[in-house]
Amino acid sequence: MSATKHLEEIARELTASGAYRVLRRLQRRTAFEQNDGTPTRLGIFLDLETTGMDPKKDEIIEIAMVPFTYALDGRIFEVRPSFEALRQPSKPIPPEIIKITGINDAMVKGHSIDPAAVSAFVAPAAIIIAHNATFDRRFAERFCEAFITKAWGCSMAEVDWAGEGFEGTKLAYLATQCGFFYDAHRAADDCAAALEILAAIIHEAVLV
């Protein structure tokens, strides 16, 4: 028996006992459901890491955009290759941001994000979704005008999480309630986690 199968067997036994709850590390998907011929649209899940909360003075240090196809009933089908990039800000990254994100000055040194490349990437999308879009949208639109022309959805504010049986809206909390953990506060991992959660509840409120 392989080590992975052995661990899965242990996990199943622990879960079946009723005394334990096992969280699995998130594995990024390339699809959630097989497209049954339903017409689809293209969405992009976006997450940003920044030097602070104020889009007028703080800067983006990491961007991730994960495109996915979805049906109008909320089902998520294909997950396409992502756009991921780091960016060196004009000033050193504050220590509190390094502590939260794990992104330091050495990691971003010499890196930049091309607004034209971002614009081309988002052009086919019908909607941009973020978990707390109020925050991400202000930074995104200031950085690249293409985001101004797009519809936006917020997976934190536009889903009835309480009605779905959750007691909070933080992404890491939602993930644990859905049975997995991941490397939070890195942009691409946050996107993957959010899509996993949305696909699990198949909620159409955000996907318009």
CA dist 39 → 73, 120, 124 (Å): 10, 23, 15
Other beta carbons within 10 angstroms of residue 186's beta carbon come to: 18
Instruction: Please indicate whether residue 202 or residue 47 has the higher confidence score (pLDDT).
Output: 47
pLDDT at 187 over 60: yes
> Of 83, 76, 81, whose CA–CA distance to 48 is shortest?
83
CA dist 207 → 35, 193, 198 (Å): 16, 17, 10
* Separation of alpha carbons 84 and 42, rounded Å: 18
Q: What is the predicted pLDDT for the residue at 175?
A: 96
Instruction: Please indicate whether residue 137 or residue 72 has the higher confidence score (pLDDT).
Output: 137
Mean pLDDT of the chain: 94
- 27-55 pLDDT per residue, tens: 999 999 999 999 999 999 999 999 999 99
pLDDT at 150 over 60: yes
The domain over range 25-201 is classified in CATH as 3.40.50.300: no
Would you call 11 helix, strand, or coil by DSSP? helix
- 13-27 pLDDT per residue, tens: 988 999 998 899 999
Other beta carbons within 10 angstroms of residue 155's beta carbon come to: 24
pLDDT at 170 over 80: yes
Q: What is the predicted pLDDT for the residue at 5?
A: 79
